[in-house]
Amino acid sequence: MTKASVPGGIPTGMDLMQNPRLNKGTAFTEAEREAFGLIGLMPEGIDTEENRLKRIMLQLAKKSTDMGRYIFLQSLADNDRTLFYKTIMSDPVRFMPIVYTPTVGAACQTYGHIMRRPKGIYLGINRKGRIAEILRHWPEKDIRFIVVTDGERILGLGDLGTNGMGIPIGKLNLYTACAGVPPRMTLPVMIDVGTNNEALLRDPLYMGLKQSRVRGKDYDDFLEEFVQAVQEVFPRCCIQFEDFANVNAVPLLERYRNRVSCFNDDIQGTAGVAVAGVLAALRITGKPLTEQRFLFLGAGSAGTGIANLLSQVMHQAGLPLEEARARCHLFDIEGLVVESRNDLASFQRPFAHKGEQLRSFAEAIEALKPTGIIGVSAVAKAFTQEVIEAMARLNERPIVFPYSNPTSHAECTAEEAYKWSEGRAIFASGSPFPPVRIGDKTLVPGQGNNVYIFPAVGLAVYATEASRVTDGMFITAARAVAEQVTQADLDAGLIYPPLSGILEASVQVAVKVAAEIFKEGQARVPEPEDIELYIRSRMWRPSYKQLL
């Protein structure tokens, strides 16, 4: 067949079968096989989508580890993107822990070893001055979402250099799987400025620049070039900053949040999910938000991000902002964050209150009597029996959120929190834990993870082409997530909507966020009469398209 005779400029033969966006494998119809030169390149049988899904499930069942399943699924995405999404969307409870936390963490730790085919764009600092040119190498021209990292703080696993690319890929998988953002409009990006991880620098299979991290002006200039190049090459694109160390994460957000469409997921997305969890938890305790006190273990991007948004929501509930902030206390490696400390960063200062720099977290609990503790320290097991028992003594229903990822870095397990609080803890963790049986009750731990926020906010931003992403949008998202938690969920101990229904939950959240975007005047499309109908019309669904 000549190129000119191919309908729609679609590639033919092997080129078509090797294009993950268009490939349908054995589900190509007879007419498509004839039209695109596929006859003889596959068995004569014609599969349905359901049959292809069934075969994938059979093959997955034969894998004995989650890492094996991760590798298999990512290879499937390289081969047949529709089938990849059909698979993971068929059972989010089963597949989310594989494409996302905790398995993605283990995958990043060995990324140079398990890598099959590069995905996304790698920007080495040695290519300074060429970023726009490199972005143009990407085959898709209408990119709406970039998730970018420099790999310095990958989950709670520290500096993984370019091995951290698994995170932008995983996050973008969830934009599509959890909210229907079209996958061809998303792009994972790795900023490679080197790594300070000695083991990786010594590893012959490590694929990044083998140099220590560039910092200071050269780093800032490179990021500036990146942000400007995105505006030039993909003018309708929103940038999600992900897993940067807080020394860069906080200044980058401050520098760009009022200049371009962007947000930081660890700061703002996490804050949204925490506010949602607290609002839902208060439906269990029946206590007002304005009477809560929170103690954070960890005073970095996530801790200060949550404290900021929580204070704003408490302020909206009637407290003066200063009083709201005074109800949020941070505790880091040096102890309680107090006014007299001279080692604090400016973003921690709003939460540095009067008092003694207590060195023990349990002591801080006795002194401050928090109603909730939130773990964002990446320190495994830091919520000890003493800590949980103190919380359970001080509160009828203590709020206990060990948010650190992956599972191996969680501040406590669901079982520990429930056991040590006699089943009274209102619990949610960053990575999933199985249900726990306490007495005659089965308690279902919620997953307090920004996955309830960023895909939904992303869908709204994509559909409205929002020119900025504001804290107001995250507060709206948080309230919308909390509203979807039913009484039956709360009775089972669940303070987030069940993960099994995350796609529909995200649509409902996106509708509210889109309304907020129109209200704030940030939309770049006309306001539709029916926002929900409009949002649904923009969503991508995993089914093979007719090529003829």
Ligand X SMILES: NC(=O)C1=CN([C@@H]2O[C@H](COP(=O)(O)OP(=O)(O)OC[C@H]3O[C@@H](n4cnc5c(N)ncnc54)[C@H](OP(=O)(O)O)[C@@H]3O)[C@@H](O)[C@H]2O)C=CC1
Tokens read off for 86: 């059909």
Residue 100 or 331: the one with the smaller Cβ distance to ligand CC(=O)C(=O)O is 100
Site for ligand X in 437-466 (CB under 6 A): 448-450
Binding to Mg ion in span 249-278, by CB under 5 A: 266
CA atoms within 13 Å, Cβ hemisphere of 4? 0
Provide, rounded to whole angstroms, the least separation between the CB of residue 97 and ligand CC(=O)C(=O)O. 12
Q: Is 184 exposed, middle or buried (0-12, 13-18, 19+ CB in 10 A)?
A: middle
Q: Which of 171, 219, 256, 418 is catalytic?
A: 171
CA distances from 16 to 31, 33, 43, 137, 394 (A): 15, 11, 16, 20, 63
Q: Name the residue whose CB lies closest to ligand CC(=O)C(=O)O.
A: 405
Q: How far apart are CA 545 and CA 376, in angstroms?
A: 43
Please enumerate in sequence order all residues whose Cβ is within 8 A of that of 99, keeping only pairs 6 or more positions apart, or say none.
70, 73, 88, 170, 173, 174, 177
Considering only 243, 416, 471, 516, the residue that binds Mg ion (CB under 5 A) is 243
- From the list 24, 70, 85, 100, the catalytic residue is 100
**Minimum gap (Å) between residue 270 Cβ and ligand X:** 4
If binding is defined by CB under 5 A, does position 150 make contact with Mg ion? no
DSSP codes of every residue in 246-304:
HHHHHHHHHHHTTTSSEEEIIIIIHHHHHHHHHHHHHHHH---GGG--EEEE--SHHHH
- Residue 23 assigned to a binding site: no
Question: By rule CB under 6 A, what count of residues binds ligand X?
Answer: 29
How far apart, in whole angstroms, are the C-alpha atoms of residue 456 and residue 504?
10
Give phi and psi for 296, each to the nearest 5: -100, 135
Contact 249, 451 (CB under 8 A): no
Q: Does 152 bind Mg ion (CB under 5 A)?
A: no
- 14-24: b (≥16 Cβ within 10 Å) or e: eebbeebebbb
* Cα gap 423→492, rounded to integer Å: 11
Residue 545, burial from CB neighbour count under 10 angstroms (0-12, 13-18, 19+)? exposed
Would you tell me how many other CB atoms lie within 10 Å of the CB of residue 301?
28
Q: Which of residues 135-154 bind ligand X (CB under 6 A)?
A: 153
| 85 part of the active site | no
Q: Which residues bind ligand CC(=O)C(=O)O (CB under 6 A)?
A: 155, 243, 265-266, 405, 430, 449-450
Min separation Cβ 266 and Mg ion, Å: 4
Residue 489 CB coordination number (10 Å): 18
The piece of 136-144, 236-244, 345-353, 366-374 that touches Mg ion (CB under 5 A) is 236-244
Contact partner at residue 298 from Mg ion, ligand CC(=O)C(=O)O, ligand X, none, CB < 5 to 8 Å by partner kind? ligand X
Could you say whether residue 308 binds ligand X (CB under 6 A)?
no
Find the binder of ligand X among 300, 370, 446, 542 (CB under 6 A): 300
Using the rule CB under 6 A, give the single segment among 37-45, 59-67, 133-141, 403-411 that binds ligand X. Answer: 403-411
Within 497-516, which residues bind ligand X (CB under 6 A)?
Answer: none
Q: Which structure tokens are listed for 336?
A: 């309680």
Asked whether the beta carbons of 235 and 146 are under 8 A apart, the reply is no
Catalytic residue list contains 100: yes
- From candidates 102, 168, 188, 430, binder to ligand X by CB under 6 A: 430
Binding range to ligand X, per CB under 6 A, among 9-17, 222-230, 325-333, 536-544: 325-333
Q: Is 450 annotated as a binding residue?
A: no
User: What is the C-alpha separation between 71 and 119, in angstroms, rounded?
Assistant: 13
The answer to whether the annotation marks 395 as part of a ligand binding site is: no
User: Binding site annotation covers 266?
Assistant: yes
The answer to whether the annotation marks 153 as part of a ligand binding site is yes
Q: Is 51 annotated as a binding residue?
A: no
What are the residues whose beta carbons fall under 8 Å from the beta carbon of 486, sequence distance 6 or more?
Answer: none
Q: How far is the CB of 265 from ligand X (least distance, A)?
A: 7
Where do contacts with ligand X occur on this chain (CB under 6 A)?
153, 155-156, 246, 266, 270, 273, 297-303, 331-333, 376-379, 403-405, 409, 430, 448-450
Residues annotated within the binding site are 153, 242-243, 266, 405, 449
Active site residues: 100, 171
